[in-house]
């Protein structure tokens, strides 16, 4: 799957967003090496801190379906003028399962930037750190 196609899925997933508090819809699409894609959206909560981001929704869908490795890329699409880079908590969660992940951050007009997770979370703490 092309980067453009993965970003298109993330953009589309914004429609599923539940964001009555921030009104900031985010969609995500997580690509596996066999071509499987897990999608997600942000799901907010009246207890604001319980909100879950779109990319974490996608990741947790994958893990809960038994997929814990082989992740290639994640596309994240916000609705702002700026590229939607993952928050710190999501960087850490993604790093656990995919330290070599490619991150595609999209903005409202569909343009996106590509970066590696290791660039976004250098010297990260992960499973290897506990050895
Ligand atoms: N959000 C995401 O879903 N992913 C990100 O990478 C950044 C932030 C969500 C969380 C919250 O529902 C809304 O965007 C505003 O912060």
Q: In this predicted structure, what is the pLDDT of residue 40? A: 98
Q: In this predicted structure, what is the pLDDT of residue 45? A: 98
**Ligand 1 binding site (Cβ under 6 Å of any ligand atom):** 19, 22, 24, 26, 42, 44, 51, 53-55, 76, 84, 86-87, 90
Q: In this predicted structure, what is the pLDDT of residue 99? A: 97
Task: Encode pLDDT of 59-87 as tens digits.
Answer: 999 999 999 999 999 999 999 999 999 99
Q: How many angstroms is it from 65 CA to the middle of ligand 1?
A: 23
Is residue 14 helix, strand or coil?
Answer: helix
Task: Encode pLDDT of 3-32 as tens digits.
Answer: 999 999 999 999 999 999 999 999 999 999
Q: In this predicted structure, what is the pLDDT of residue 52? A: 98
Task: Encode pLDDT of 101-113 as tens digits.
Answer: 999 999 999 999 9
Confirm if 55 and 10 have CB atoms less than 8 A apart.
Answer: no
Q: How many angstroms is it from 54 CA to the middle of ligand 1?
A: 7
- Active-site residue list: 55
Q: How many angstroms is it from 36 CA to the middle of ligand 1?
A: 23
**Nearest CA residue ID for atom 9, ligand 1:** 53
Atom of ligand 1 nearest to the CA of 43: 12
Confirm if 29 and 16 have CB atoms less than 8 A apart.
Answer: no
Q: In this predicted structure, what is the pLDDT of residue 38? A: 98
Atom of ligand 1 nearest to the CA of 90: 6
Q: In this predicted structure, what is the pLDDT of residue 129? A: 95
Atom of ligand 1 nearest to the CA of 41: 3
Closest CA to 103 of 72, 68, 60: 72
Residue 5 has φ and ψ, to the nearest 5°, of: -70, -40
pTM: 0.97
């Amino acid at each position: 799957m092309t980067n453009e196609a993965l970003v298109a899925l993330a953009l589309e997933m914004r429609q599923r967003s539940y964001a009555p508090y921030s009104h900031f819809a985010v969609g995500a699409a997580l690509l596996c090496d066999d071509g499987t894609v897990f999608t997600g959206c942000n799901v907010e909560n009246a207890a604001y801190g319980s909100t879950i981001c779109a990319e974490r929704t996608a990741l947790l869908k994958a893990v809960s379906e038994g997929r814990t490795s082989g992740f290639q890329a994640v596309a994240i699409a916000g609705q702002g003028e700026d590229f939607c880079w993952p928050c710190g908590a999501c960087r850490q969660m993604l790093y656990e399962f995919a330290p070599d992940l490619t991150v595609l951050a999209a903005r409202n007009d569909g343009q996106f930037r590509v970066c590696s997770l290791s660039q976004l979370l250098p010297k990260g703490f992960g499973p290897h750190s506990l050895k």
